[in-house]
Structure 1
Amino acid sequence: MGTVALAVTDGMLHLELSLAYEVFASAPDAVRVPWYELVICGPVGVQVGRFRLEPDFGLDRLPEADTVIIPGWADVDVDPPGELVSAVRAAHAAGARVVSLCTGAFVLAAAGLLDGRRATTHWAHTDVMAARYPRVEVDPDVLYVDNGNVLTSAGKAAALDLCLHLVRLDHGSSVANAVARRLVVPPHRAGGQAQFVTAPVPAQDDHPLAGLFAWIVERLDQPLTVEDLARQARMSSRHLGRHFRAATGTTPLQWLLNQRIRHAQELLEKSDDSVDAIAEATGMGTATTLRRHFNRTVGVPPDTYRRTFRAALFTSSVNSPNN
């Protein structure tokens, strides 16, 4: 899938750097698709937190990458290094997809890549960014923003969400889910969710809803109601709603709909089933219902999604260095 370059200089945050490395360095064992070539670009002997890092190449190699990722920037009160800003700007001009994680958005803003665009960063620094870069439309209430070839994320966990989003764009949701399983994190949080929304699946095995989520996913083809879920969880519908809101940031039925849409994406990517068959397999009932909810959630009709995904997959295969 081309080269992913992590752009680093002194003052980068090591967590965001590590998250990106974990996602793009190697494919999960079960995945059999051309993977990314990951390189680290920066000055010799970069100090990242308390660690010293030896990059593979200098920043002058960024324009040769297909995707450039800028991890979080530790001190937003200090302007990022000019050589980093210039290299990122040159990479974008050369056609690279440029991505910032957390406060790495300040580097993109300094390079002028966010002018006239919607962008986000860690909620604690959105006011600073908006004041310093008034031409940027700063959105403090989302996990990440995808502008096509320029993407920005909020902090920490949202940075991982954006990395998984990139894998989903390049390889489809089933591969992104495999990466998420390897990292033991929820497979998908849409970028438009609020930054304070908790993880869609509780991490604790003893959570009251821990067993319910798996039970639901195994029955997506069935017409489930809130009463069905409450009965399975052995609690009242009102009690279930409170637990669901605390665990996922949304209602039981909205979460169920999101899982149906996610499953529909996988079937559109991996099978030749008709939209009618996929509607039945995902519990949507009819193709009309599936198309309405899919279009509203994903932004395109199911047929368009399938054509676009398969065209992108074909292009990736043709351009693979193994071909």
Structure 2
Amino acid sequence: MGEESAGQRLDNFLLRELKGVPKTHVYRIIRSGEVRVNKGRAAADTRVHAGDVVRLPPVRTSEAAAAKAELAVPAREFPVLLEDEHLLAVDKPAGVAVHGGSGVSFGVIEQLRRARPAARMLELVHRLDRETSGILLVAKRRSALLALQEQFRQRETGKTYLALVAGAWPASKKVIDVPLHKYLQADGERRVRVVGKDDPDGMRSITLVKVAHRMTLAEAGALVDGGVFTLLEVTIKTGRTHQIRVHLASQGHPIAGDDKYGRFELNKGLQKLGLKRMFLHAWRLQFDHPATGERVELLAPLPPELKKFCDHAAAPSPPL
């Protein structure tokens, strides 16, 4: 393992090294335990370091297949919130994966690389769920990647989301400190659940919640008591998979439109009322610039489809 790969996630490292190997196959051999790092089993999010020994099962590569796959990726730019020679911050739309893999041919990072063939390096600093919109950081230098990822690991960043939940969230409920456990379903899909504080598989997970606004959607009265929804500012102190979604749902207030941890009938009804996606948006991100050390705060406004739904819910009833 060379210095140029230090700090990368294992899956990203393999996807870049194994040109021509289908992404689904790469994730399959990781999940099955056939990929070993320093003789031990490793997960997709394991970080590789200079000097690590990565062992793989025999795989077939094809330069022709790799070239064909690369050509199939459409070039695409995304709304830029900040860019300099060290990093790029974009406003990711909902419905777009951050990278290819697990049934997705390509994501934001592959499309950016295709749109910027002269870029020396473009690497994801962190991730967002496919259905979550908002701020996504991309490093343009290895030094920036390592510095920013270290800030995320040390919880030195400030990550605040906007989430619309069903029901009236109690203003006194400001902290959720409940362990989470990640597991795979029979079909291989990853899921997360809350567990007890003494569960050996539980990972401590802390979410801070602040009520931003309460609104009533009269047409949803049959779906939610009183048709009441609450817009929350949610700050995560730990970055667990699906943390916000599972934590909010565990308190009896699932995110509107969440197809994994939400309520099916509620989501179905909200689709008819105009909400066709999960209402979770990475709104604010604070971090120290990797080169200058200056504290940076980025804001991504609510996308039009979410703002329209909020405006509709907050609009006064028409006169009789």
Q: Normalising TM by the smaller chain, what interval?
A: under 0.3
Q: Quick check: which one's strand share is greater?
A: 2
TM-score w.r.t. the length of structure 2 is 0.27
TM-score w.r.t. the length of structure 1 is 0.27
Q: Quick check: which one's helix share is greater?
A: 1
